[in-house]
Structure 1
Amino acid sequence: MPNTKHVNFTIIVNWKARGFGCSKVCAYCNWRGSPLLPQGAQSEAEVREFIRKCDKSFITISGGGDPLYRFEENFPALLSMSDTIKEEGYKVRIITREVRHVAKLKGIADHVSISLDDDVLQLLDNHQRIWDLHQLDIEFSLVLPPLPMANLLELKPQYAALHKRLGRRLVLRENFNSIFSLEAASMSFGHGGIVFVPKSLCLNSRYLSAIDCTGHEIVQDNAALAGFLMANPDAYLFGGFVKHLLDPVVHLEYSDIDVIALNTGVMDALVQQFGFTFKDVSPEGAYPRYFMGKSVRAGKSIQLILMDSDADAKRFIFNAQFAVDRAGFNQGFFFDPMIGEDAIHEAIHNKVAQTVPGTRSMDLFQPDRLLVEQRHKSQLIKKGFLISRL
C-alpha cells in the first residue's frame, strides 16, 4: 500500500446504477464513460475500510457524478455515507454544482465546495442569504482553463475580482486536460482568500471509486500523455488537438486525440504507460488500420490510424476536406504546402473552414469518409466555424 500520510482522501460517487449521475456537461470532466466510475453507491464496508487509512481530519465526497444529483432520490445514500464517515471520527466535505440543494446539507456536511460555472454564478445571489443564515462553511472552486502560463497570468485580475464578488474562499484548480506547464508560485495571490491547487496534489491523493486507488490510477495526466505523443517520432497528431496547440485561446477545448502511428510500438506504449486498450474498427484486410483507444483512466480517447510511412501520414492529412484541417504535428508542426502555413494559421485563428477545390486523394480514407466529413462539418459549425470555399 502506498504511503497515505498527509494526502487527501476522496470518495468518487455516482449514484446511478447505470449511466452517469450528473445534470451538467463540463468541458473539463472526463468521468462520463470512465470504466472506473462506480455504478451506484459503494458499500458501507468499502467506505469504512477506505477512510480508516486517512490521517487527515476530513473525507471528501465528490464526482464522478454530482453528490447532490437528484437530491431527494439519492439523499438516503448520501446521508448513509456521511453518517459512516462521521462515525469513524472524520468531518465531511462535499463538492457539488447543485446549488439549490446546498442549504439542505446543514448537519450533513461540515464543509461544502461549490464548483463554479456560468450557470452556477447566475444562481448564487438567490442562495447566499440562506447559506449565511444556516452558517454553512462554503468555499467556491473553479477549474482553470487549459491555457499556457502567460494566458493564465492575464486572467489573474479577473479571479481577484471574482473572489471579491463572492466574498468567500476561492480555490483555483489546475485543469487535468491542460498540456501546458504551470508555475504554482506564479498563481499565488499573496493571501489565503484565493488558493491554487495543482493537479499533482490530486494525482497523488487517494480515491475510492470502483476501486481503492491513487489519482494516477484513475485520472489521466493529459500533459504526460501529450508529451509522449509530441516527442514520439512515429506519432503524427492532427485534428482538434493540433488546433489547440496552435491557438489554445481560440480553440480552448478538444475532444478525442487524433493520431497516426507508423508502427504498433506507439500503441504498445500507450497501453503500458497510459492504460489504453485499442479496438480495431477497420474492415478485414483494409489499409490503413483504424483503432479506437480508451484508457481505464478518466481522460481523452484516442482515434489512432496505423500507417506505413511519413508520406502516407502527410498525404492523409493534406487531403482533408477543409484547409483548416491540413496541419499536423510530428516533433514539430507541418502544413500542407499547397495551402501555406500562414493561411492555415489564419483559418485556425479566425475559425474559417474553407473547402479545397480540385480532386482529393481518397484512397487512405475509410469507405464511409463522406459521412464522416458531413459529421465533421456539423461539429465545426457548432464550434462557431464559418464554412466557405477557397
Structure 2
Amino acid sequence: MDLPAPVINKPSRRAGSAPTISDVARRAGVSPMTVSRVINGESNVRPATRDAVNTAISALNYAPNPAARNLAGAGQTRIGLLYSNPSAGFLSEFLLGSLDQAARSDVQIIVEKCELGEHEIEVTKHLIDGGIDGIVLPPPLCEAQAVLALLAEAKIPTVVVASGFPATHQLAVRIDDREAALTMTRHIMALGHRRIGFITGNPNLSASARRLEGYGDALREVGVPLDEALITHGLYTYRSGLDAAEQLLDLDDPPTAIFASNDDMAAATVAVAHRRRLDVPGDLTVCGFDDTTLSTAIWPELTTIHQPIADMSRAAVELLVSTIRTARNNERGERHRTLDYTLIRRQSDAAPRRRPPTRRA
C-alpha cells in the first residue's frame, strides 16, 4: 500500500539564512522601500519610522548586502571621525554609537585621534588626501576653527556634535545646553539650595558658555544674585574638577551644592568632599552633566543631566551619510538635529542641612 507523502510546511526563507530587507520591513511594519531609505540615510523618513526600522534591524541583526548596494549605484561611502576628548566616558559612548550607525548605514568609518593644538591639521589633511567623503567632529574639535576652515576649503561635508552655537550652514547635532543647565539648577533650588557653586567646562567651547548661561538664568528667575566667587573654571577633566572643588570649598561661606559641567568634574568634587569628611549629599549636594558610566561608578551615584551621547553620534553619522548621498542626487536635506536631554536623579542630592554639618570619621 502506498503511503501518503508527508506534508512539510516550508518557512518563508531557509532556516539559518541571513535576514532580508523584506524581513526587516515586515517586522517594522513598513515597505522595503522605506527600509532602503533608512539604510541609505535619506532624510525623507519620519523620526518614529526611522526608529522602528533601526529597532527591527538590530533585532534581526540585519546587514545590508554591499554587492547589492553597489549594483544600485550607492557605492561605498568613507567617513572620518576625528577625536580629542579628555573624558573617557564621553568618548567611549561616542565611538560605540558612531561605529554602530556606520554598520547600519553600510559605510566605512575611519577613526583618528589627534591632540588639539598639536597635529590636528596634519591628520585632517591626511584624511582629505585619502579621499574621505565626510567628517564627524565631536568636542572639542567641533569648534576647532583651523580644522573647520580646511574641511570647508576642501568641500568635505562635516557634522559638528555638541556645539553650543553651530552655524546655520553647518551640519550639527546637539542638545539645548542652556535649557539643560537651567533645568538642573532649578532642581537644585527646588531642594532648598540658594548658595550653589558652578564649575564651568572648557572656555573654548560654546557649550560651556551655554551651560553657564542656564545656571545664571535659573538663579535670576528666583531673584538670587549671581556671585562670581561661586563660579570656578574647569576643563572637563577630573584633575581640573579637583582644583575647582577645592577652590569652592575653601570659601569662607562655601556653597551647599555644587553643579559641575560634566560628570568627570562632579566625580572629582565628590572625592574632594569625602577627603574633607563631608557627607554627600548630607553636607553637600553634587550634580553633574552627561550621564556617562562614571556617574554610576562612584558613591554616591550622581544626579546628572543625561546627554544622549551615543544617540548623538548615531544621528551625526546618519545625517552626514544622508547629506553625502542626497548631494550626489543634487538634493538638499536637513542641517541641524536637536536631541532631548533628561534630568536623572540619583543619590548625590538632598535638601541643605539645617544644623551644623556632621563630619564623617
Q: Which bin holds the TM-score, normalised by the shorter protein?
A: 0.3 to 0.5
Q: TM-score, normalised by structure 1?
A: 0.32
Larger radius of gyration: 2
More helix by share: 2
Greater RCO, 1 or 2 (C-alpha within 8 Å, sep 6+): 2
